[in-house]
Structure 1
Amino acid sequence: MFHDLPVLRRLHGRPARLLRRWLALSLLFSGLVALFLPASARGTPGTATVVSARDLPAGALLRPGDLKLVDLPEDVRPQGALGQTVSAEGRLLVGAARAGEPLTDVRLLGAAIPGTGDPESSTVPVRLADAGIAELLRPGQRVDVVAAAEAGREASVLASAAVVTAVGEQEAAGTRSPKPGSKGPLVLLSLPSAIATRVAATSLERSITVTLR
């Protein structure tokens, strides 16, 4: 009869071990649920954060439909994240963004594109002297605007760090590789208003080109 005692002890201790394992698994599951719940569901107040409402390409001009607000807890909210959609509207996206990605200050160009609420800037259309250069430009890119040397005048920098807002199509249909020296498409540049006026006036009498940054 006594040789059955170890078996009884094992049977007696098994419920306790099962209970401890069940409690450990329950605590682990509860922690995982709390980790993936929204901040509001966990009882932790989130902070309003601007995220992209859809996939956006680099150089996109942000409009209200491209943005939305979500609440993010501070431990996952990136530094420099925007808290109001109006802070991003009318600005250019430096790099592509996936839907739901928080938008930070370094992902956007510093000022809103003219016509979307920035009274200090203007958009000026220029036709570059070389169509090949225009092909290299992309919205959101920064360039220096240069008046070409001609008629005894030296080349001069008209504006620094202008923002390319749009690049027009080539006028000649079917022309994929324009000849060197041929006139390029219209390029829209965002500049401070005073400088934009000077660039527009100079482009009427001198050839304009840009240097890439």
Structure 2
Amino acid sequence: MRARAARLRRPLAALSAAAAAGLALTALRPGPPPSARVLAAARDLPAGATLGTSDLRALDLPPPAVPAGALRSGAAGRVLAGPVRRGEPLTDARLVGEGLLRGYGPGTVAAPVRIADADTVRLLHSGDRVDVLAGPPSSGPDGLPGGDGRWGAARVIVSGVPVVTVPRRGDEGGREGALVVLATDRAQAQALAGAGPALSITITGP
């Protein structure tokens, strides 16, 4: 029995040493790298889209890669100020709201406006100032002038308001005209919302 125990002692000691070494390596092995979970676009989305739950997915990023203003919740029901690509992290500056208007004065709101002439919108850049006009010329039957013999004059809805953002070409999903987001006060935003679909702009300066 003693001889048998002596023969087994050495293999058992080796097994114990191996097990201890394995436990030590496990303890020293670094854990998974830290990550932060943010919201990203689940598919390509156009400017002006209202986000639904199917448009969003969770994305784990290393903390240094998380963009400023990244959204972690509360994006459903919000409106995109510009187009986003599939997998792109969503930030407050991508949505119509306070983040988009950082740097503007108090009481400013972001007003998305669809302009009939898309080519004119493509000339705009953030910071440009524009007048928005409404109303095609008044006309009688068959497109002839109205009863007074003259074309109606377009009316100015807002004047000298700054452009916040403009969608890129090709991101409008085939819709007519083009979207531009303007920084206005609430009264101007209400006036634009009630001005009808035939809106045009003139560029008044940077």
- Measured against the shorter chain, the TM-score band is 0.3 to 0.5
Could you say which structure has the greater relative contact order, defined with CA pairs below 8 angstroms and 6 or more residues apart?
Answer: 2
Structure 1-normalised TM-score? Answer: 0.41
